[in-house]
Amino acid sequence: MISLHTEICDLLSIKHPILQGGMGPYKTESLAAAVSKAGALGVISSIGMAATLLPDAAPIDAIRLFGTDPPREILRKSVENVAKQLKSGGTFGVNIPVAAEFLLASKMFFEQVIESREGDSDVERALTVLVTSAGNPKPWAEIKKHGLTWIHVVPSVYHAKKAEAAGADIIVASGHEGGAHVSWDPVHSMVLVPAVAKAVKKPVVGAGGFCDGATLAAALCLGAQGIQMGTRFIATKESDFEPIWKQAIVDREERQTLTGRGLFGPMRFVRNTRAEKIVEQTLSDVPRFYLGEPVESNEDILKLERNGFEDLIDAKSDTALMFGGECVGRIEDIPTTSELIEDIISEAKESIKKMYKLL
Residue ranges of the domains in the chain?
7-242+331-356, 249-313
- 117-148, pLDDT tens digit by residue? 998 999 999 999 999 998 899 989 889 889 99
Write the secondary structure of 207-273 as one string of H (helix), E (strand) and C (coil). ECCCCCHHHHHHHHHCCCCCEEECHHHHCCCCCCCCHHHHHHHHHCCCCCEEEEEECCEEEEEECCH
Percent of the chain, pLDDT > 90? 68
Give dist(CA 27, CA 46) in Å, integer.
6
pTM of the model: 0.91
In degrees, rounded to 5, the angle at the alpha carbon of residue 347 between the alpha carbons of residues 190 and 355 is 65
Query: Running along the chain, 359 residues long, what does each successive block of 10 average in pLDDT?
Result: 85 97 88 97 89 55 64 92 94 92 86 93 95 90 91 96 96 96 91 98 97 97 98 96 96 94 84 93 68 55 84 90 95 97 96 91
172: left (phi over 0), alpha (psi -120 to 50) or beta: beta
Give dist(CA 50, CA 109) in Å, integer.
9
CATH H-level, domain 7-242+331-356: superfamily: Aldolase class I (3.20.20.70)
Report which secondary-structure segment, H or E, holds 45.
strand 42-45
Residue 60's pLDDT is what?
A: 54
